[in-house]
Structures are given as structure tokens and as C-alpha cells.
Amino acid sequence: MRKELLIISISFVLVFACGEKQEGSQEKSISNEWELVILDSIQVDVLGTISTGDFRNGVGMLFDYTSNRLIEIDYTGNIIISKTYPKEGPNSINFITTVKIDSLGNPYIMNYRGDFYELNKDLSFKRKIEMPFPSTSYGGLMDNKSMEFWKNEIILQYAGRDEISP
């Protein structure tokens, strides 16, 4: 009798242990997989290659490095103004790596290991921001972090004289 009771108990446990899980008893699974969720997007009619940009207060600035063109867009993707810069000669600029807009809507740009510029609303040069030593360029999005705004000041990250951090 004891053997029969033991066999019935083990069979009963095996049936319920090997059965399918019910929906209410599912455990949370921990996963390293990520899901891309697009919260918002806009379409801008630009044929080219955008290398950098900034978006603030409903206005965006994009730089197309294939045509050396800076493009200002609104929050719907419509082009407000576009300016193509010469690659050589007066008012030329090449390899823009950073585009920033301050809290007042003023545009700023920085070129690769070069100078910083404040631009007018028509994207022409307003002033060149002179520094006593050359800027450092880390490439890609790291350059975008070398210039920030705080209150009414511009914070620029420079390596220092002879590229040695001060």
C-alpha cells in the first residue's frame, strides 16, 4: 500500500511539474535584447550625408558634409534656410564636426581641429571665437560634446598648450 501511495504521489507531482505554465504564473525574464522604439520622427528633403546636427526649441541645424552645406529646419522637417560654404578662399570652412544652437536660438559651428564660429540668423559668419591654442578633435559625436552652453557663457573643451591637458 505504501508503494502504491508513493507511486501515485510521484506521478501526481510529475504531471503538475511537467505541465504547461499558466499565464498568471509567468515570471519576468531578464534579457539583454533591446527593442527600438521610435517616439517621434521627421522627414527632411535633403539629398546628402548629414554628419552632425542639433535640435533645440523647435529648430534644428544639420550639416551635410558632401555639399558643405548647413541647413536650418523647423520641427516638421521643412527647410527654413540653407547655406553652402566654399571649401577654399574667403569665408571658407571645411569639415564641420559640431553644430550647436544656444538657448536663444543662435547657431554655432566648429570645424575639425579648427575654429569655433558664431553665425548670424542667415547662417553667415558673425564672429570667429579665437583660442590661444588649437582645439582637440576626437571624431564623431565626441566632438559634439566639446562645446556646451551654460547661462550666457560658452564652455569649450580644449586639451591645452602643446595638446597637454591643463
Record the cell numbers describing residue 52, joined without a space. 552632425
**Would you say residue 6 lies in a domain?**
no
Flag whether 104 is in a domain.
yes
Q: pLDDT of 36-79, one tens digit each?
A: 888 878 788 888 888 888 888 889 999 998 899 999 999 888 99
Number of structural domains the chain divides into: 1
Give the residue ranges of DSSP H helices in 18-160: 141-144
Q: Residues near 158 by Cβ (< 8 Å), separated by ≥ 6?
A: 131, 133, 135, 136
CATH code for position 90? 2.120.10.30
Please indicate, yes or no, if residue 78 is contained in any of the structural domains.
Answer: yes
* 88 occurs within a structural domain: yes
Determine, yes or no, domain membership for 64: yes
Q: What pTM was estimated for this model as a whole?
A: 0.65
The answer to the question of residue 77 being in a domain is yes
